[in-house]
Each structure stands twice: as structure tokens, then as C-alpha cells.
């Protein structure tokens, strides 16, 4: 669970790694001629990119937004994190890896 700014930073580092992994799989799909899968995965990469970017400057304390340069509320932040969890698996900041789920639910 993301409760502090440090938790958020850790989650976003994992999300960056996840984004790179999905991009590589998209390139593999493109090379195999599976353009539908390529497009779906690239849409997820794009979605991760913008969500990660929008959360980089957030300040959290006890799970609540205390500083937001983008006028995001705590509910907005939780919604963005939930989308990241769908795309990258259900791993949390305390987990060893966000890649515990073989297939992220958003790809199903």
C-alpha cells in the first residue's frame, strides 16, 4: 500500500520497469506480425508513461496528498495507482517484485 512519498517513489520505479518490459513485449509482437497485440501493449505503455509522469512530484503522508503541483486529489492519485497496478500486476511497494502476476489483468 502506498502511504508515503517514499512508497510512491518506489512504486513508480517498479512501474518504470514494468513499462519497459511491456514495451519490449510490444516490439516482439510487432516483429511476429501481431499488430493488434502490439497496439494494445503500446497503448498501455503510453498510459503508464503519462500516469507515472503525473505522480512523480506528489507528496504523500499517511496515504493522503499533501502537495500536488497538478491539482490532483487523493482520490485521483489512488485511481492512477490502481491503473498502474492493473497494468503492472498487484505488487505493492513492500513486495520484492511487481511481476508476480504472469499476465497483468489489463492485458486480458
Give percent above pLDDT 70 in the chain: 82
Cβ neighbours of residue 37 closer than 8 Å, sequence gap 6 or more: 26, 29
Report the run of H or E that residue 83 belongs to, with start and end: helix 74-88
CA distance 31 to 99: 23
Q: Which has more confidence, 88 or 79? A: 79
Q: In this predicted model, what pLDDT tens digit does every residue of 42-87 receive, in sequence order? A: 999 999 999 999 998 889 999 999 987 778 899 999 999 999 988 8
**Predicted local distance difference test score (pLDDT) of residue 14:** 87
Residue 99 in this model has a pLDDT that exceeds 50: no
Amino acid at each position: 500500500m502506498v502511504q508515503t512519498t517514499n512508497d510512491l517513489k518506489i512504486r513508480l520505479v517498479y512501474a518504470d520497469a514494468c513499462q519497459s518490459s511491456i514495451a519490449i513485449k510490444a516490439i516482439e509482437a510487432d516483429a511476429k506480425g501481431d499488430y493488434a497485440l502490439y497496439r494494445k501493449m503500446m497503448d498501455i505503455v503510453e498510459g503508464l508513461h503519462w500516469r507515472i509522469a503525473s505522480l512523480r512530484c506528489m507528496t504523500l503522508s499517511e496515504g493522503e496528498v499533501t502537495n500536488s503541483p497538478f491539482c490532483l486529489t487523493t482520490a485521483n492519485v489512488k485511481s492512477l495507482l490502481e491503473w498502474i497496478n492493473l497494468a503492472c500486476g498487484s505488487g505493492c511497494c513492500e513486495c520484492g517484485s511487481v511481476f508476480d502476476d504472469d499476465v497483468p489483468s489489463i492485458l486480458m
